[in-house]
C-alpha cells in the first residue's frame, strides 16, 4: 500500500483564501500493488498527472497551502465520489443508474488507465475497495475540507484550485476544426462551481502568461469541483488542465526540455491566482 494518503505543504504564513490541490499526481506504486496489475511500470502511469505537483509547488511561496495525493490515480481516484464503485471490478457491487465514469472503468477504484487499458485480471473484493477508500480517499478529502474551512474562517471565503494535466491528443478535435489548440482548460462546471469574477481572473492570469485557454471543453470538472464548488456560500472551485506535451514526454513519462521554462511561467500565474484571495483585498472589502 502507498505509505501516505496525502502530503500537505503549508506556507510560512497563510496569506490567501486560495487552496491548491493535486489529486492525481501521486506516483508511489508499491510492489504489492504492481503484483496485482497486468500492466507494466510505464503503462500503469498513463492516467497519472505526472509532475503536476512540481509545476504548482510554488503555491506555498505566495501564502497558499498545497495538498497533493500520496497514492496514484490507478490505485484510488480522489476526483471521484466514494460511492462511485464499479460492479465490473468490485465483487458484491450492484449496478445502479447509469454513470458514464463508472461505465468507462473510471470509478473511485479505477478498472482501467488511459485508452481503456485494463489494470487487473479479474475482480477485487469489496473489502479491498473499502480499505482504499477509508485509508486514502477519506483522509485526503478530510484534509481538503479542513483547508477550505480554515480559508472561510480567516478570509470569509475559500477558493479551491484543482490542478490536473491532459493528454495532448485531448485537443485534437479542436485543432482539426481549425481553432487554436488550447493549452489550458479551465473548468467551473459551466459557472456552477465558481463565480464568474473569479473565473475571469484565473483565465486572465493564464492568458497574460501567453497560454491559450479554453473553458469547460472538453473538461468542465468532475467530483471535486462539483462537490466543493458552492459560489452562493463563497466557496469556489476551479479545475485546471494543462497540456502534458508542454512540459513532458508523454510516452516516456519524464520532463522535457521545456519543463523548467513552463514552471517559471506558472509561478507567475500562481502568484496572480493567489492574489485573488489575498488578505489585503479581503480587508479592503470589509
| CA–CA separation, 182 and 242 (whole Å) | 9
Distant-in-sequence, close-in-space partners of 45: CB < 8 Å, separation ≥ 6? 27, 29, 72, 74, 113, 253
From first to last of the 286 residues of the chain, give the pLDDT tens digit: 899 999 999 999 999 999 999 999 999 999 999 999 999 999 999 999 999 999 999 999 999 999 999 999 999 999 999 999 999 999 999 887 789 999 999 999 999 999 999 999 999 999 999 999 999 999 999 999 999 999 999 999 999 999 999 999 988 877 766 778 899 999 999 999 999 999 999 999 999 999 999 999 899 999 999 999 999 999 999 999 999 999 999 999 999 999 999 999 999 999 999 999 996 444 444 4
Distant-in-sequence, close-in-space partners of 212: CB < 8 Å, separation ≥ 6? 180, 181, 182, 183, 184
According to the 3-state scheme, what is the secondary structure of 100-167?
Answer: HHHHCCCCCCCCECHHHCECECCCECHHHHHHHHHHHHHHHHHHHHHHHHHHHHHHCCEEEEEEEEEC
Tell me the domain boundaries of the chain.
Answer: 6-285
* Among 135, 126, 89, 93, CA closest to 111: 89
Sign of CA dihedral 94, 99, 103, 106: negative
Strands 184-187, 254-255: pairing is unpaired
Q: Which CATH superfamily is domain 6-285 in?
A: Zn-dependent exopeptidases (3.40.630.40)
| CA–CA separation, 257 and 259 (whole Å) | 6
Distant-in-sequence, close-in-space partners of 283: CB < 8 Å, separation ≥ 6? none
Prediction pTM value: 0.94
C-alpha cell at 15: 496569506
Amino acid at each position: 500500500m502507498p505509505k501516505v494518503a496525502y502530503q500537505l505543504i503549508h506556507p510560512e504564513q497563510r496569506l490567501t483564501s486560495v487552496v491548491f490541490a493535486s489529486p492525481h499526481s501521486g506516483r508511489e506504486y508499491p510492489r504489492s500493488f504492481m503484483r496485482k496489475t497486468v500492466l507494466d511500470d510505464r503503462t500503469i502511469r498513463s492516467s497519472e498527472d505526472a509532475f503536476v505537483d512540481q509545476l504548482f509547488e510554488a503555491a506555498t511561496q505566495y501564502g497558499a497551502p498545497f495538498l497533493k495525493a500520496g497514492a496514484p490515480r490507478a490505485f484510488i481516484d480522489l476526483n471521484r465520489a466514494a460511492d462511485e464503485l464499479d460492479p465490473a471490478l468490485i465483487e458484491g457491487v450492484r449496478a445502479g443508474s447509469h454513470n458514464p465514469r463508472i461505465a468507462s472503468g473510471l470509478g473511485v477504484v479505477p478498472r482501467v488507465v488511459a485508452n481503456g487499458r485494463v489494470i487487473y485480471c479479474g475482480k477485487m473484493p469489496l473489502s479491498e475497495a473499502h480499505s482504499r477508500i477509508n485509508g486514502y480517499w477519506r483522509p485526503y478529502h478530510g484534509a481538503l475540507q479542513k483547508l477550505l474551512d480554515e480559508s472561510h474562517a480567516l478570509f470569509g471565503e475559500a477558493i479551491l484550485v484543482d490542478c490536473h494535466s491532459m493528454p495532448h491528443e485531448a485537443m485534437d478535435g479542436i485543432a482539426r476544426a481549425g481553432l487554436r489548440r488550447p493549452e489550458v482548460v479551465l473548468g467551473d462546471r459551466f459557472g456552477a462551481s465558481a463565480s464568474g469574477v473569479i473565473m475571469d481572473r484565473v483565465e486572465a492570469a493564464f492568458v497574460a502568461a501567453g497560454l491559450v485557454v479554453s473553458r469547460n471543453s472538453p473538461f468542465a470538472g468532475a467530483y471535486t469541483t462539483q462537490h466543493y464548488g458552492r459560489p452562493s456560500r463563497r466557496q469556489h472551485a476551479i479545475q485546471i488542465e494543462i497540456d502534458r506535451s508542454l512540459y513532458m514526454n508523454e510516452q516516456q513519462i519524464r520532463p522535457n526540455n521545456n519543463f523548467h521554462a513552463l514552471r517559471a511561467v506558472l509561478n507567475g500565474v500562481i502568484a496572480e491566482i493567489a492574489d485573488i484571495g489575498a488578505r489585503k483585498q479581503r480587508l479592503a472589502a470589509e
